Structure 1
Amino acid sequence: MFYAIAAYGIWGILPIYWKSIKQIPATDILAHRIFWSFLFLAVIISGMRKWGEFKLAFKSLRSFLAVGLASILISTNWLLYIWAVNNNHIVEASLGYFINPLLTILLGRLVFRERSDVWQNVAIGLTLISVAFLTYQYGRVPWIALTLATSFAIYGLVKKLSTLTPLTGLGAETMLVAPLALGFLLVQFSRADSVYSPITLTTVILIVLTGVVTSVPLLLFAQSAKRVPLSTLGFIQYLSPSLSLILGIFLYHERFTHIDMLSFGCIWVALAIYSLSRKDVLGRFRRG
């Protein structure tokens, strides 16, 4: 439970971090996250002498494909989230992570046959209503929210099904795409109009530390995903979008209309229904 709360708490305040380096394009930030995360994880794996265990990620085709899928899912999620934050879409991004827990609950029911009841169905139904409200307001499907929600829900499922340890799994995921990230960054550095020419030492430090702020919550999340039922994990996940929503409205003054309030209200009601109906979840919190 602590791993999950820590992971989602960190993710909830990360918009502040990405805003601090918004002069760097989202694609570049993604490449930095991947490359520096791999170096950070490589140091940890070396210190713990886990390279022998690391080879298990590529021992079979099934394991390799699982690592590849997880790598694609988390890279897509990272890129879209960074772009959304730095283009003033924190509110819609937070909606995605409000929707995601209920998708996680649904996957837990479909894949692991986790127990469900009528109240879970009501909660999922209210979420669908909220998406319909926003679609009506925007005149389009809220693709940012839905893509973020779907990609991370499936990523969580892949991590739960994986037999790799969290450290080994995340190290393998970043290793697969690290060469691509490095190649992309080298091309960006060599350009005459490179965005890196005028940056300060503080920005350089923040860029390098993207590996730490990326890896730590993911390692915490992976630890919790292996130990906590997906239904409970989905419940805890509301911490992250709640913090991001507060930042988007009160710190960055993003637009928040009556339709937004109605849509988020439906999800908050869904959360309340789910929380009050799941004694096992509340029991775990008390025991924790």
Structure 2
Amino acid sequence: MAQNEAFKGVLLGLGCYFFWGFFPIFFKALAHVPALEVLCHRIVWSLAFLLPLALLSGRLTDLKAALRDRATLLLLATSTLLIAGNWLVFIHAVATDRVLESSLGYFINPLISALLGGLVLGERLRRPQQLALLLATAGVLHRTWHLGHPPWIALFLAVSFGLYGLLRKQARVDAVTGLTVETALLAPFALAYLLLLGLGGGGAFLTGRGGDNLLLLLSGVITALPLIGFTAAARRLRLTTIGFLQYITPTLHFIIAVVLYHEPFSTGDLISFALIWTGLLLYSADALLRLRSATEAPPLQGSR
């Protein structure tokens, strides 16, 4: 029974990470629509999808509790700004042919999360983790030298999502409830902006191509569906397994950028990515060894 649940978890995890991996193709189809407008539609339609889902799944009490608790609401208000910024920069990166740089950001993200755990939560970084962070730093510094400026998109995506994960861990709400509250906090501003655009005749929704209307509507659904799958997968899988699966998304972004969109990938880019990939391999190998040690260690005397 446990193996069956774990197998379901792997399938769900693969599904949501592959789903996220193809996000560049979806948002590339909306590249002609201003990034801020796409973001506002994503917020509004996400709430339109998530709120009924939260109510139908019996989360009304959780929603009320999150809105009434000042500490939780403050954490979610802050995480709202981080995830909105993350979404906006990603949409902008796709529209301006910088999918490769966005993939770099999501490759770095696990290492940023480990660093934040050490700095903020006091989690001790082991030597392999420290070396992995040094290699990632070397990769970013090399890319800075290669480009002539820091890879701001990659850094912003990695840091904003790392901070978002840190805050959401402190908020102690489930993924659907948390995202429902976050989109509800942003929705009035997003809706006001879209209404102003519509009144001025400048919005893409209902005034542009028919395909745009459908894609903008679907932006909410594609935000919520993989999140639901991830929540179900996380309940069935070890955190280490999820850690390995998460590399699927930036790997697909990388392949899409180079193979499908023919974004330039020079020797300098290869060196930067190779340093970061080496750091990730070291980080992952350390996590795997620790998992094996934990499962093979004999139980303590007196434990049941």
TM-score, normalised relative to structure 2: 0.85
Q: Give the Cα–Cα distance (whole angstroms) in 2 for the partners of residues 227 and 248 of structure 1.
A: 32
| Partner in structure 1 of residue 135 of structure 2 | 126
| Partner in structure 2 of residue 62 of structure 1 | 71
Task: Kindly indicate whether the alpha-carbon contact (under 8 Å) linking 2:205 and 2:216 is maintained by their aligned counterparts in 1.
Answer: no
% identical equivalent positions? 38
Unaligned runs of 5+ in 2: 1-8, 296-304
1:201 Cα offset (Å): 2.6
- SS of 1:93's equivalent in the other structure is helix
CA deviation map 1:73-112 (0-9, x unaligned) = 1000000000000110111111111111111122334455
| Partner in structure 2 of residue 27 of structure 1 | 36
Q: Give the Cα–Cα distance (whole angstroms) in 1 for the partners of residues 85 and 60 of structure 2.
A: 27
1:235 Cα offset (Å): 4.2
Q: CA RMSD in A?
A: 2.6
CA deviation map 1:154-193 (0-9, x unaligned) = 1111122222122211110110000111111111112234
Unaligned runs of 5+ in 1: none
Q: Give the Cα–Cα distance (whole angstroms) in 1 for the partners of residues 210 and 19 of structure 2.
A: 24
Change over 3 Å in CA distance of 1:230–1:106 after alignment to 2: farther
Where does 1:78-157 land on structure 2 (aligned, <5 Å)? 78-112=87-121, 114=123, 116-157=125-166
Query: Greater CA deviation, 23-32 or 40-49?
Result: 40-49
Task: Kindly indicate whether the alpha-carbon contact (under 8 Å) linking 1:37 and 1:214 is maintained by their aligned counterparts in 2.
Answer: yes
Change over 3 Å in CA distance of 1:10–1:4 after alignment to 2: same
Whether 1:37 aligns to 2:37 is no
Q: Give the Cα–Cα distance (whole angstroms) in 1 for the partners of residues 201 and 190 of structure 2.
A: 19
Whether 1:243 aligns to 2:258 is no
1:113 Cα offset (Å): 5.2
1:137 Cα offset (Å): 1.2
- SS of 1:278's equivalent in the other structure is helix
Task: Kindly indicate whether the alpha-carbon contact (under 8 Å) linking 1:32 and 1:208 is maintained by their aligned counterparts in 2.
Answer: yes
Change over 3 Å in CA distance of 1:110–1:7 after alignment to 2: farther
Q: Give the Cα–Cα distance (whole angstroms) in 1 for the partners of residues 47 and 202 of structure 2.
A: 27
Task: Kindly indicate whether the alpha-carbon contact (under 8 Å) linking 1:67 and 1:173 is maintained by their aligned counterparts in 2.
Answer: yes
| Partner in structure 2 of residue 171 of structure 1 | 180
TM-score, normalised relative to structure 1: 0.89
- SS of 2:22's equivalent in the other structure is helix
Q: Give the Cα–Cα distance (whole angstroms) in 2 for the partners of residues 72 and 223 of structure 1.
A: 25
